[in-house]
Structure 1
Amino acid sequence: MNNLLVAQSGGPTAAINATLVGVLQGARISGKVDKVYGAKNGIEGAIKGNLLDLSDLMKDTQALDTLTYTPSSALGSCRFKMKDWRVDEESYKKIIETFKKYDIKYFVYIGGNDSMDTVNKLSEYCSVNNYDYYIMGAPKTVDNDLNLTDHSPGFGSAAKYIATTIAELERDISVYDIPAVTIVEIMGRNAGWLTASSALARVNGGPGPDLIYLCEKDFDDDRFIEDIKKKQAVKPGLLVAVSEGIKYKDGSYVSDSMSSGAVDNFGHKYIAGAARALEQLVRNRIGCKVRAVELNLMQRAAAHIGSETDIIESTMLGQKAVNCALNGETGKMAAIKRVSNNPYRVEFISVPVSEVANHEKTVPLDWITPEGNDVTEEMMEYLRPLIIGETNVKYENGIPKHLRLY
């Protein structure tokens, strides 16, 4: 039998289930897949043989429509780092056992950078050992930091949420005629794409954030305070957007004074508190009213304000990943190639996952203003198309309806 396994990994997004739906649709339309299984909790489910049979769901168009607009990872997620198979082969052997037990020939892994590392290692292991399996990656990350794809599924919806929230915050703080600073911390460890999207709050003529600081540029306390003072000479209430990963010239995080120093399974330092650190700085150096706001988890899975462009592209990437696997491709990732901005057009391609894994796409420095406190028109041209279109979210009893697989 030619069965397919799909799994999801990494941080949740508003569009990751749309990619899952694309995988299911691609498998059904092809006529070449007998059954589709879903691994619970990412690659860990494949290792443990903890699978769900999704074959009936594949044919249920109503359920698939609800799942498309359900946020987060319906199959569950994990942050499990696969060791190199030359060092520790045990996990790889267990995955192959699962493949054999369930007659799986194709595997699509939906996730971000660390997930693509898994795709790369597993496809290499299968190739070296002459296993006839086809391993494909499907991109996902709100951070938009995956290499070789114009943008990543989940980013457009997160950007739309951020732009909307910033526009609403601006309306809130604008009613007072007293000096005040509101500092909004937005996700982004080493890539400032999400923070840059705060500028989209200006597309309908609103002022948006007064200052924007991305993690690609060295941060300087004195320059920051000077920027605040210059802006306050013109208007009393300021709105500032900052990446959670803003760093000083020496490489230390602005948030270090607020951090526990703990790290995750991939050795990534938990960073949060940049806005709170800057809140203290403004209070000590300027003395005006100041507050810190952390968007935190809310920006990842806000499907109620999702981008239909994001959902459609996410679905298409799931289909593309399946088609590539069925055509004999392995060790690749489905990706987006932008053809034009006006009109906005893209193509869906495949790229070597080895050139995606452990690479990080950051904001080009020339898309940041020379002063380092805003973004350029080139950035706006890149961002605008990604938030277009309103999603067809289903409501029940006054709140969005979600589909749960287990």
Structure 2
Amino acid sequence: MMGNVLVGQSGGPTAVINSSLAGVYQTAKDQGAGKVYGMLFGIQGLLEDKYVDLDEHFHSELEIELLKRTPSSYLGSCRFKLPDYKADLSIYEKIFVILRKLNIECFFYIGGNDSMDTIKKLSDYGKIIGSKIRFIGVPKTIDNDLAATDHTPGYGSAAKFIAATTKEIIRDSLVYDQKNVTIIEIMGRNVGWLTGAAALAESTECSGPDLIYLPEVDFSTEDFITQVEHLQKSKKALVIAVSEGIHLADGRYICELAEDVKHTDQFGHAYLSGSGKYLSNLISREIGCKSRGIELNTLQRCASHMASLVDITEAYQVGAAAVKAALEGKTGEMVILTRVSKGPYQCATETFDIHKIANIEKKVPYEWIKKDSTGVTEEFMDYARPLIQEELTPIMIGGLPKHINYNSIR
């Protein structure tokens, strides 16, 4: 038996983040939880006393199945950096007043690096004041940049969408008998896990992207033009995948070379958009051939019709494992996936000290990037390919995927 539970979602959404919510909710109820509350808009919403009783919204197995198949964050999200308690004690006092009011015994936060930082800070403060509330992190991020875990739920489905879309773009590029270049801009500020997934488009009937550029290595516009011109001697249609965060040796992002107005988020990070467009214009100007830039943008994280069954299943499993870890008395930890078998592929769940995960960014290993920095190796492909396998067919109504109704909660 366990007492009342509180769960929230934070950061950028994924196609399978709600499967983790389903895993937390269903496992908590199976273990005898009293109330399962959901924060609305993450920890920021909780500070405004925004939460709901999820028992009033999930009434059947069908609704849970729809939840697994519904993209984005059902409870809403936030990008709120919890300050250190020494800098603003009042925030912590307010949070714990709410937790005590709701008689919360277990607190689960589904998110990426900033969310794990929240778990770390809340669990540390809880120990200081002698609270018995258990705080467990549930990993998610399409960026796949959380430390300790083999991969993060959300990445597999985004990788599947990117690889499939790249394959379709390659087919489209071959229509006309003329030189053309297509630049696909893929999410990834500092890590190239998503962009590397474009290489999975390679198959018996598809050569895959011609060039792939990750932010783990410096980018040179001069070398880029040279490489394109060299490839055009033997191939008319080129498709190139670039991370939105590719940058020059001096640290400037490629998208910053454009003269467009730039915006920053609440953390002061520049919105990275326009690298593909800039490089496409550069090709047109320097080489003089037809070129276009395609920005996949939020499609990478919301395309639930292209979700990986492996990803959906693992997202549910990490939510369930978080509940079991809390029942075992653990706190200040995050659930991780550990690859125990490559053939056949199999991952197990464990928990790991949140202090060794929060605010640490996992990059693509340099040995998994080709020596000329224009692609990824077979080791990368072997790592990523199992994560995009199989599908969970959407429940179709009127020819379109059916999602659980957000209006019932917001």
Instruction: Tell whether the 8 Å contact from 1:192 to 1:363 is kept in structure 2 after alignment.
Output: yes
Q: Residue 376 of structure 1 aligns with which residue?
A: 377
Instruction: Tell whether the 8 Å contact from 1:183 to 1:242 is kept in structure 2 after alignment.
Output: yes
Structure 1 residue 187 displacement after superposition: 0.1
Structure 1 residue 264 displacement after superposition: 1.6
Structure 1 residue 59 displacement after superposition: 5.3
Q: Deviations over 1:70-103 (max 9, x none)?
A: 0000000011111100110122111111111111
Matched, 1:29 2:30: yes
Q: Residue 96 of structure 1 aligns with which residue?
A: 96
Instruction: Tell whether the 8 Å contact from 2:13 to 2:72 is kept in structure 1 after alignment.
Output: yes
How does 1:74-153 map onto structure 2 within 5 Å?
A: 74-153=74-153
> Does the residue aligned with 1:296 lie in a helix, a strand or coil?
coil
Q: Residue 220 of structure 2 aligns with which residue?
A: 220
Instruction: Tell whether the 8 Å contact from 2:109 to 2:137 is kept in structure 1 after alignment.
Output: yes
- Paired AA for residue 326 in structure 2: A
Q: Residue 183 of structure 1 aligns with which residue?
A: 183
Distance in 1, matches of 2:114 and 2:330, equals 20
Matched, 1:272 2:273: yes
Matched, 1:323 2:324: yes
> Does the residue aligned with 2:83 lie in a helix, a strand or coil?
coil
Q: Deviations over 1:249-283 (max 9, x none)?
A: 11111110236443222232211111111112111
> Does the residue aligned with 2:105 lie in a helix, a strand or coil?
strand
Structure 1 residue 162 displacement after superposition: 0.4
> Does the residue aligned with 1:90 lie in a helix, a strand or coil?
helix
Distance in 2, matches of 1:169 and 1:276, equals 16
Name structure 2 gaps, 5 residues minimum: none
Structure 1 residue 146 displacement after superposition: 0.6
Q: Deviations over 1:163-218 (max 9, x none)?
A: 01000001101111101100010000000000000011114541111111111111
Structure 1 residue 392 displacement after superposition: 2.7
Distance in 2, matches of 1:124 and 1:268, equals 27
Structure 1 residue 328 displacement after superposition: 0.8
Q: Residue 47 of structure 1 aligns with which residue?
A: 47
Instruction: Tell whether the 8 Å contact from 1:28 to 1:59 is kept in structure 2 after alignment.
Output: no
> Does the residue aligned with 2:352 lie in a helix, a strand or coil?
strand
Distance in 2, matches of 1:210 and 1:383, equals 19
Instruction: Tell whether the 8 Å contact from 2:180 to 2:237 is kept in structure 1 after alignment.
Output: yes
TM-score scaled by length of structure 1 = 0.97
> Does the residue aligned with 2:185 lie in a helix, a strand or coil?
strand
Q: Deviations over 1:326-352 (max 9, x none)?
A: 211111111101112111011101011
Pick closer, same or farther for the CA change 1:334–1:59 going to 2, 3 Å. farther
Percent of aligned pairs with the same amino acid? 47
How does 1:176-325 map onto structure 2 within 5 Å?
A: 176-258=176-258, 260-325=261-326
Distance in 2, matches of 1:12 and 1:107, equals 19
Q: Residue 4 of structure 2 aligns with which residue?
A: 3
> Does the residue aligned with 2:73 lie in a helix, a strand or coil?
coil
Distance in 2, matches of 1:245 and 1:282, equals 19
Distance in 2, matches of 1:58 and 1:298, equals 27
Structure 1 residue 55 displacement after superposition: 2.1
Q: Deviations over 1:311-332 (max 9, x none)?
A: 0000000001111112111111
- Paired AA for residue 376 in structure 1: T
Q: Residue 402 of structure 2 aligns with which residue?
A: 401
Distance in 1, matches of 2:59 and 2:349, equals 24
Tell me how large the CA RMSD over aligned residues is: 1.2
> Does the residue aligned with 1:240 lie in a helix, a strand or coil?
strand
Distance in 1, matches of 2:393 and 2:281, equals 42
Q: Residue 365 of structure 1 aligns with which residue?
A: 366
Structure 1 residue 57 displacement after superposition: 4.5
> Does the residue aligned with 1:300 lie in a helix, a strand or coil?
helix
Instruction: Tell whether the 8 Å contact from 2:305 to 2:393 is kept in structure 1 after alignment.
Output: no
Structure 1 residue 229 displacement after superposition: 1.1
> Does the residue aligned with 2:161 lie in a helix, a strand or coil?
helix
Distance in 2, matches of 1:164 and 1:331, equals 38
Structure 1 residue 397 displacement after superposition: 1.2
Q: Residue 346 of structure 1 aligns with which residue?
A: 347
